[in-house]
Amino acid sequence: MDQFKNVTIVKKANAYFEGKVTSRTVLFADGTRKTLGIMLPGEYEFGTDAAEVMEILAGELEVLLSGESTWNVYTGGDRFQVPANSRFSLKVKIVADYCCSYEE
């Protein structure tokens, strides 16, 4: 069972799109942070500040990165990168459990 040890978790959730996308922030001793989140089926668009690595823990979604013309499909075990200061679109097909790492 994959776990993050010796971390700090912010109690309150981050919520977007009327709660269809939610996450909680995990702070690591080295100053880095990740969010662990859930996306219900639906279509969403997000913007980044820092670059992100999105790891899909379960579910299925299609992703279109800014400036690209091809939607890519990701399922549990997959990961994709999103550049800093960009936008990306998501079509969540099956409830997605994810871990987002911020490269700051």
Contacting residues toward a second copy, per CB under 8 A: 1-13, 15, 18-20, 22, 24, 26-27, 36, 38, 40, 57-58, 95, 97, 99
Measured from the CB of residue 27, what is the shortest distance to a second copy in angstroms?
8
Measured from the CB of residue 10, what is the shortest distance to a second copy in angstroms?
5
CA distances from residue 79 to 6, 9, 39, 46, 53 in whole angstroms, order as listed: 24, 22, 15, 17, 7
98 in Cβ contact with 56 (< 8 Å) = yes
Taking the least distance from each CB to a second copy, the nearer of 5 and 67 is: 5
14 in Cβ contact with 22 (< 8 Å) = yes
Measured from the CB of residue 36, what is the shortest distance to a second copy in angstroms?
6
